[in-house]
Amino acid sequence: MDRVYIFDTTLRDGEQAPGFSMTAEEKLQMALQLAKLGVDVIEAGFAAASKGDFEAVSLIASEVKGPVICSLARALEKDIQMAGQAIAPAERKRIHTFIATSEIHMKYKLRMSPEEVLERAKKAVEYAKRFADEVEFSCEDATRSQRDFLYKVIEEAIKAGATVINIPDTVGYAVPEEFAELIEGIKNSVPNIDKAIISVHCHDDMGMAVANSLAAVKHGARQVECTINGIGERAGNAALEEIVMALKVRKDFFGGLHTGVNTRELYRTSRLLCRITGSFVQPNKAVVGDNAFAHESGIHQHGVLANPLTYEIMSPEDVGFPSTRIVLGKHSGRHALKNKLKEMGFEFREEDMDRLFEKFKALADKKKEVYEEDIEALIYEDFIRQEQEEPIKVLHYQVQTGDKLLPTATVVLNFRGQERTATATGNGPVDAVIRALQKALGLEPKLLDFSIKALTPNTDAQAESRLVIELEGVRASGRGVDVDVIKASVRGFVDALNRALLRKSYILSRESLRQEGTV
Ligand code: KIV
Ligand code: ZN
């Protein structure tokens, strides 16, 4: 078989990472884009983990057509039952059940004997078959598991009906040659392995998640579990865009293997995730970083102009990297906006179009040229996020500053239904307004990172603020966009705070599962 299936776990393993939690609506937006990207399976969440997770999985199962919709479940009847209920509305469904098979996990986390684990694995797969034809079984911490026991568990899981066997490198311990050898071992030692697809799920603790996944593919794995921008527990998971492009660019090496991914949607998907989670990718990130196609040195520039293949192994168009970025201006009409939105992959109802067109006109009046990034920012800020119930809403603020004035800011905001006002001074106008916000809220988050940059290259550009904060042990990122630098900062700061506050309740609901040591 020369097809490699792409199993996207951005909304499950990716979302588990600090600072990346998403609401059900945000997950749906991501899932719709993942369907456009052409992934084969969307792991939409862990239905039994919380009410929010359950809702997100069932929302995606009802709304997203195309990919298989999957929910994770521990090898427990109650988890499997909830996963089954959550994915029920999907056209194509899968339950992904797992239990750890390494000695260290069985002894200290599960407190179960190998025999009990084997029995539990069989029962879980059999039970999951009641809810979905496709059942995936994972041997958690497979790379640190005793080989003969691992083979036995896999064999029994397949006998019980598993159609996909996933081999996770849960703690990012493997190295490529050794991981490839493990896949060979499974192929040669599990007698019924031809009845299932071998999948791999690699974490990036030593920066080898992509290399390990590709080594496994070269040796027979035909499903790769990965996430957009490589987000995930700790150092993250294998990055989807890197796996897909490596298979495409090095088809010669991989013997013609291919995926069903439309690579032209990679850049857009990466940026949508950033927008939704308030995160960012480093500029030198492979495939989707801002510098991935930038040639700075004269020699490189000369070569690329003469023939792009001198220094580019893939073209920016292949991954949907925007080449010309100016798209619309203040004379552009509703029709032009609608066409542009369609080109960008968005479709809106007529009444939403009216509201969006008004917002667009207001922005185009403030700046001469409107870029794709501006339009995306507008859609996100004014549509997607507005639908959510956020704990903090800034009603208005005022800042006085000048070379002979002590920067002073006053803010009026609503915090969980209560109106509050505060004034503060600071080193600069941004510092003053942030201090005023903190005072009004009575919250003192630690600012771990803060940057502001122009989204596009003009003095009338929209400014984008990006922040990472820590509030009572909860880390969150935030992002704010506006033509006014101070407003962009206020939006970013409040965005991060809202995410931290929303995340706190989410964490509480997961606490009980964490105590069992199984999430
Ligand atoms: O890393 C891991 O082992 C997992 C499993 C639940 C597949 O995420
Ligand atoms: Zn994982």
The CATH number that applies at residue 174 is 3.20.20.70
Protein residue whose Cα sits closest to atom 3 of ligand 1 = 170
In a domain, 266, yes or no: yes
The finding on whether 376 has its CB within 6 A of some atom of ligand 1 is no
Shared domain for 311 and 243, answered yes or no, is no
442 found inside a domain:
yes
Q: Is the pLDDT of residue 515 over 60?
A: no
Tell me the C-alpha distance between 105 and 110, whole Å.
6
How far apart CA 519 and CA 507 sit, in angstroms, is: 12
| Atom from ligand 1 closest to the CA of residue 9 | 8
Bin 259: left if φ > 0, else alpha if -120 < ψ < 50, else beta. Answer: beta
**Predicted local confidence at residue 363, as pLDDT:** 86
Q: How far is ligand 2, taken at its centre, from the CA of residue 273, in Å?
A: 18
> What residue type is 190 in one-letter code?
V
Determine the structural domain holding residue 23 and report its residue range: 5-277
- If asked whether residues 35 and 94 sit together in one domain, one would say yes
pLDDT at 53: 93
- Give tens-digit pLDDT for 371-400: 777 787 777 666 665 555 788 999 999 999
How far is Cα 104 from Cα 421, in angstroms, rounded to an integer?
54
Is 98 a pocket residue for ligand 1 (Cβ < 6 Å)? yes
Q: Which long-range contacts (CB under 8 A, 24 or more apart) does 259-262 make?
A: 259/3, 259/4, 259/5, 259/6, 259/38, 260/3, 260/5, 260/6, 260/38, 260/39, 260/40, 261/6, 261/37, 261/38, 261/39, 262/36, 262/37, 262/38
Whether 61 and 119 share a structural domain: yes
Average pLDDT, rounded, for the chain: 89
What one-character-per-residue DSSP string does 202-243 give?
A: EB-TTS-HHHHHHHHHHTT--EEEEBGGG--STT-B-BHHHH
Q: Which atom of ligand 1 is nearest to the CA of 237?
A: 1
Residues 303 and 239 in one domain: no
Cα of 199 from ligand 2 centre, angstroms: 13
Please check whether residues 212 and 301 belong to one and the same domain: no
The β-bridge relationship of strands 93-100 and 134-140 is: parallel
In a domain, 224, yes or no: yes
Assigned domain for 288 exists: no
Q: Is residue 11 located within the same domain as residue 127?
A: yes
Q: What is the DSSP string of 282-348?
A: -TT-TTTSTTTT---SHHHHHHHHH-GGGT-SS-GGGGT--S--EEEETT--HHHHHHHHHHHT---
**Cα(first)–Cα(last) distance of the chain, in Å?**
33
Q: How far is the CA of 200 from the centre of ligand 1 (A)?
A: 10
Return the best residue to mutate from 140, 173, 226 for the ligand 1 pocket (most ligand atoms within 8 A of CB): 140
Tell me, what's the pLDDT at 325? 55
- Indicate the pTM of the whole model: 0.78
DSSP of 383-419, one letter per residue?
IIGGGS--SEEEEEEEEEEETTEEEEEEEEEEETTEE
Q: Give the list of residues 6+ apart from residue 74 with CB closer than 8 angstroms, or none.
A: 48, 97, 98, 99, 518
Distance CA 328, CA 319 (A): 23
Atom of ligand 1 lying closest to residue 203 CA: 1
- Shortest-distance ligand to the CA of residue 236: 2
- Domain count of the fold of the chain: 3
Say if residue 512 is exposed, middle or buried (CB neighbours under 10 Å; 0-12, 13-18, 19+).
exposed
169 Cα–ligand 1 center, Å: 8
Q: Whose CA is nearest to atom 2 of ligand 1?
A: 170
In DSSP terms, 465 is beta-bridged to: 452, 480
- Region 182-209: mean pLDDT is 98
Q: 161: which 2 tokens?
A: 């009906």
Show which of 277, 307, 342 is a domain's final residue.
Answer: 277
Question: Domain check: are 269 and 334 in the same one?
Answer: no
Which pair of structure tokens corresponds to residue 493?
């700061």
Question: Look-up: residue for tokens 């239904």?
Answer: 417
Does residue 36 form part of some domain? yes
Tens digits of residue pLDDT in 282-291? 989 999 998 8
For the beta carbon of residue 149, count every other beta carbon within 10 angstroms: 17
Of 139, 135, 95, 133, nearest to 120 by C-alpha is: 139
In a shared domain, residues 423 and 316: no
Q: Which residue among 319, 350, 384 closes a domain?
A: 384
| Span from the CA of 443 to the centroid of ligand 2 (angstroms) | 33
Coil, strand or helix at 135: strand
Cα angle vertex 249, ends 342, 309, to 5°? 90
CA distance 371 to 13: 33
203 and 341 belong to one structural domain: no
The pLDDT of residue 98 is above 60: yes
* Residue 286 belongs to a domain: no
Please indicate whether residue 168, judged by its CB atom, sits closer than 6 Å to ligand 1: yes
Mean pLDDT of 464-484: 83
In this structure, of 112-116, 184-188, 494-498, the range with the lowest mean pLDDT score is 494-498
- Span 250-286, pLDDT tens digits: 999 999 999 999 999 999 999 989 878 878 899 899 9
Residue 68 resides in a domain: yes
- pLDDT tens for 142-190 read 999 999 999 999 999 999 999 999 999 999 999 999 999 999 999 999 9
Written as one letter, the residue type at 2 is: D
- Residues 348, 427, single domain; the answer is no
Residue finishing a domain among 384, 414, 434 = 384
Report residue 265: phi and psi, to 5°.
-95, 0
Residues 127 and 27 in one domain: yes
Mean pLDDT within 426-444? 94
More confident: 350 or 116:
116
Least confident of 32-46, 175-189, 235-249, 491-505: 491-505
The verdict on the CB of residue 13 being under 6 Å from ligand 1 is: yes
Q: Are residues 151 and 167 in the same domain?
A: yes
Please indicate, yes or no, if residue 514 is contained in any of the structural domains.
no
SS3 476: strand
Q: Which atom of ligand 1 is nearest to the CA of 171?
A: 1
Give the CATH number of the domain where residue 500 resides: 3.30.160.270
| H/E run at residue 374 | helix 372-379
